[in-house]
Amino acid sequence: MSGTTRPHERRPLTGWGRTAPTVADVVVPATVDDLRCLIQRQPSRGVIARGLGRSYGDAAQNAGGLVLETGGLDQIGPVDPTSGLVTCGAGVSLDGLIRTVLPQGWFVPVTPGTRQVTVGGAVAADIHGKNHHGDGSICAHLDSVVLVDGRGELRTLTPEDDLFWAVPGGMGLTGVIVAATLRLIPVRSDRMVVDTVRTASLDETMEALAEADRTHRYSVAWVDCLAGGGGLGRGVVTAGEHAASPGEHDGGGRLPTTAWAVPSWAPRLPLSPRTVRLFNEAYHRAAPRSRRSLEPLGSFFHPLDVVGEWNRLYGARGFVQHQLAVRDPEVVRQVIAMFAAHRAPTFLCVLKRFGPGSAAPLSFPQPGWTLAVDLPAGDRRVGALLDEVDAAVIAGGGRVYLAKDARLAPSALAQMYPRLDEWRRLRERLDPDHVFVSDLARRLHL
């Protein structure tokens, strides 16, 4: 690690959804020792780490306190040619990691819908991707994590340590992750073989997605939550595999840079039930009934990354993303019916299947289904609607993703995460003085 720790800068922060801004003192430690010193001072309003700010809600905010941006912890070690193990600083982005290891024939084991997240943030949120049904979340691919605990001590934790399991899904409240060693997967191409299927109903979408999970490593479905009648839940299912031929590694699938950024003055998306319904109709009609294609890796995994600051399109009041996980497919049907009945402008509705969960008490994935929708925060109906959705999710034994949450009620947390007290006991051992705190932790009484 090299460089100089930047002085504190007091500034407002939000999550990617741009809701609930708060002001904090922000500092970028240049070294792990600098970071330890900052924690050992135990600021009165606590400390939280922040990567690239892609948590949708308030998980990386700390009103009136200290926020440690991890961009200075940006080293990438060599890849072990046999095991695929690589050690990265917490501030390394998945974008930077993929650009480094892909030309060497490796890829990250798990990636969410954006590569603009840090390794530290990925571990803290225990990210999942289109391959969870077979490969699990990021914690299944970790050899070790290094973090600074609440006393400022450096700890190296492995999956054999019980304290390790408090970190994935712990949203930074168990310590500041400074490095992680993870197992990459070998690939022979920078392209993806993608099968696309257009479906006519929710039953057909779910059947096609289940079938794709049996035959493909990666799968996801776009779902129409506003179509009328039997078309409700129609979708476009895409399933992919890494292309197997070395001859296909021709550079065409390498990751693009951001093509353009949404300016701060850009008008917000005209999101209404009518405009979203028209968009959904056009998108569904444009999708092929069935097609196999060879696509760039970036467009398959991270299609929105070519648009910088796309969150500005929702306007100054921002948006919320609600992501749920449930075992019972009937709860998914119930929730989609709720969105339709309320005529909610559910933009970018995504459905995936989950495999087994992990040993981490606050990890989000559980076997079954996950549904994620974007909703404009300025719509007055959204809060009451999502309260109804939360009640249905709780009744079905499900949960919401804390990395996406901006409005969950504290009373719902323990019902969604029955191992919450187990996590709290582990957290006490890592941070007995509760140095690590965030707006999310205060809001949910964590």
Indicate the range of 65-74, 350-359, 374-383 predicted with least confidence.
Answer: 374-383
Question: Is 394 contained in some domain?
Answer: yes
Question: Residue 342 belongs to a domain with what CATH number?
Answer: 3.40.462
Can you tell me the mean pLDDT for 92-100?
97
Q: What is the mean pLDDT of residues 388-415?
A: 97
Q: Is residue 43 part of a domain?
A: no
Residue range(s) defining the domain that contains residue 263: 191-416
Share of the chain above pLDDT 70, in %: 93
Least confident interval from 44-53, 260-269, 363-372, 384-393: 260-269
- Whether 24 is covered by a domain: the verdict is no
The pairs formed by 271-276 with CB atoms below 8 angstroms and a separation of 24 or more are: 271/314, 271/345, 271/347, 271/376, 271/379, 272/345, 273/226, 273/343, 273/344, 273/345, 275/345, 276/226, 276/345, 276/346, 276/347
Answer whether residue 429 is part of any domain.
Answer: no
Q: Tell me 360's DSSP state.
A: -
- Total number of domains in the chain: 1
| pLDDT of 61 above 60 | yes
pLDDT-derived band of residue 308, with 50, 70 and 90 as boundaries? Answer: confident
What band does 1 get if pLDDT is binned at 50, 70 and 90? very low
* Inside any domain, residue 391: yes
Which of 23, 93, 92, 28 shows the shortest CA–CA distance to 58?
23
pLDDT number for residue 222: 95
Q: What is the mean pLDDT of residues 72-82?
A: 96
Query: If we measure between CA atoms, which residue out of 157, 172, 145 comes closest to residue 46?
Result: 172
CA 180, CA 162: separation in Å to the nearest integer?
17
Q: How far apart are CA 260 and CA 305, in angstroms?
A: 10
Contact 342, 355 (CB under 8 A): no
Is 60 exceeded by the pLDDT of residue 133? yes
Over 90: is that where the pLDDT of 171 sits?
A: yes
Indicate if the pLDDT at residue 2 is higher than 60.
no
| Residue 199, in any domain of the structure | yes
The secondary structure of residue 163, as a DSSP letter, is G
The rounded mean pLDDT for the chain is 92
- State mean pLDDT over 43-51: 94
Q: Could you tell me if residue 438 is inside a domain?
A: no
Q: Is 381 a member of any domain?
A: yes
Answer yes or no: is pLDDT of 241 > 50.
yes
Q: Which contiguous run of DSSP H or E holds residue 4?
A: none
Fill in the amino acid letter for 188: R
